[in-house]
Structure 1
Amino acid sequence: MDIIGGGIAGLALAGILDPERFAVTLHEQRPELPSVGTTLAMWAGAQAAIARLRLLDQLRDAGTKLASGALRDPSGQAMLSMEGDTLLGIPRPALLKLLDSAVPTTVQRVTGRVERLPRDSWLTVGADGVHSVVRRTHWGSRAVARPTPVLAVRGVIPGNPSPEDVGEYWGRGNLFGLAPAGEGTNWYASFRSGPGPDQVDVPEALDTTRRLFSGHAAAVQHVLAQATAETTLAQRIWIAPPLARYTRRNVVLIGDAAHAMTPNLAAEPANP
Structure 2
Amino acid sequence: MKQPHAVVIGGGIGGLTAAIGLHRTGWRVTVLERAASLEPVGAGIGLAPNAQRALDVLGLGDRVRSLAAWQGVGGMRAQNGRWLVRTSAAEAEGAYGGSLVMLHRATLVDLLVAELPEGALRTGTSARLTDPGDADRPAVVATEDGDVEADLVVGADGINSAVRDVLFPGHPRPVYAGFTAWRFVIPAPGDPVAPHETWGRGGVWGTQPLKDGRVYVYATARVPEGGAAPDGEQAELARRFADWHDPIPELVAAARPEDILRNDVRHLATPLAEHHRGRAVLVGDAAHAMTPSLGQGGNQAIEDGVVLAHHAAAGTDLFAGLAAHSAARVPRTTEIVRRAARASRVTHPTSAPLVAVRDTLVATASRLGPNLILRSFASIADWRPPQAPYAAGTATGGPARTARAAERESAQR
TM-score (norm 1): 0.87
- Could you give the per-residue CA deviations for residues 176-211 of structure 1, whole angstroms, max 9, x where no partner exists? 0001122121111011123527xx459533222221
Q: Alpha-carbon deviation of 1:224? A: 1.4
CA deviation vs aligned residue, 1:230-253 (integer Å, no higher than 9, x gap): 221112222223222222233221
The one-letter code matched in structure 1 to 2:263 is: Q
More helix by share: 2
Is the alpha carbon distance of 1:239 and 1:195 closer, same or farther for their aligned partners in structure 2, counting shifts above 3 Å? closer
Which deviations, in whole Å up to 9, do the C-alpha atoms of 1:56-108 show, x marking residues without a partner? 444345x3322332022112222222211632111001110110001112636
- Tell me which residue corresponds to 2:317: none
Residue 13 (structure 1) aligned with residue 26 (structure 2): no
More strand by share: 1
- Indicate the residue corresponding to 1:193 in structure 2: 223
1:65 alignment partner, one of 55, 62, 69: 69
Q: Is 1:232 equivalent to 2:257 in the alignment?
A: no
Structure with the greater alpha carbon radius of gyration: 2
Change over 3 Å in CA distance of 1:138–1:128 after alignment to 2: same
Is 1:115 equivalent to 2:110 in the alignment?
A: no
Is contact 1:69–1:163 with CA below 8 Å preserved after alignment?
Answer: no
Q: Which secondary structure does the structure 2 equivalent of 1:210 belong to?
A: helix
Match of 1:184 among 204, 211, 214: 214
Q: How many residues align?
A: 269
Please name the residue that 1:258 is paired with: 287
Please, which of 120, 128, 133 is the counterpart of residue 162 of structure 2? 133
The answer for the alignment partner of 2:240 in structure 1 is 212
Q: Give the superposition deviation at 1:110.
A: 6.2
Would you say the 8 A contact 1:202–1:234 is kept in 2?
no
1:215 partner amino acid = D
* One-letter amino acid matched to 1:51: D
- Identify if the C-alpha distance between structure 1 residues 148 and 156 changes in structure 2 by more than 3 Å, giving closer, same or farther: same
Q: Which amino acid aligns with 2:253?
A: A
CA distance in 2, matches of 1:64, 1:110: 30
- Structure 2 residue aligned with 1:172, among 191, 201, 216? 201
Picking from 101, 112, 115, the partner of 1:99 is 112
1:3-82 matches, within 5 Å, as 3-18=8-23, 21-34=26-39, 36-61=41-66, 63-67=67-71, 68-82=73-87
* Residues 249 and 35 of structure 1, relative CA distance in 2, 3 Å threshold: closer
Residues of 2 paired with 1:136 and 1:264: CA distance?
A: 26
Show the counterpart of 2:273.
244
**How many Å separate the matches in 1 of 2:179 and 2:288?**
17
Distance (Å, rounded) in 2 between the aligned partners of 1:108 and 1:185? 30
Displacement of 1:165: 4.1
Aligned counterparts of 1:139 and 1:9: Cα–Cα separation in 2: 20
User: Cα RMSD between the aligned structures?
Assistant: 2.6
1: distance between equivalents of 2:220 and 2:172? 24
2:180 counterpart SS class: strand
Q: Which stretch has the larger CA shift, 239-248 or 111-120?
A: 111-120
Q: Which runs of 5+ in 1 are unaligned?
A: none
Moved more, 219-228 or 2-11: 219-228
Per-residue deviation, residues 106-130 of structure 1 (Å, max 9, x unmatched): 6363642223445243322111110
Q: Which amino acid aligns with 1:211?
A: R
CA distance in 1, matches of 2:260, 2:119: 37
Residues of 2 paired with 1:174 and 1:28: CA distance? 34
Q: Is the 8 A contact 1:70 1:82 kept in 2?
A: yes
Structure 2: runs of 5 or more not aligned: 1-5, 91-98, 131-138, 141-148, 295-339, 350-413
Contact 2:184 2:255 in 1 (8 A): yes
Query: Normalising by structure 2, what TM-score?
Result: 0.59
Distance 1:218 1:194 in 2: 27
1:90 aligned to 2:106? no
Cα offset for 1:161? 6.9
Moved more, 52-61 or 253-262: 52-61
Partner residue of 1:147?
176
Relative to structure 1, is the Cα distance of residues 171 and 48 closer, same or farther in structure 2, using a 3 angstrom cutoff? Answer: same
Q: Give identity over the alignment, percent.
A: 31
Letter in 2 for 1:92: R
Alpha-carbon distance in structure 1 between the residues aligned to 2:245 and 2:181: 19
Q: Partners of 2:172 and 2:105 in 1: how far apart?
A: 27
After the TM superposition, which parts of structure 1 deviate over 6 Å for at least 4 consecutive aligned residues? none
The one-letter code of the counterpart of 2:38 is: L
Query: Do the aligned partners of residues 164 and 6 (structure 1) sit closer, same or farther apart at CA in structure 2, a change above 3 Å counting?
Result: closer
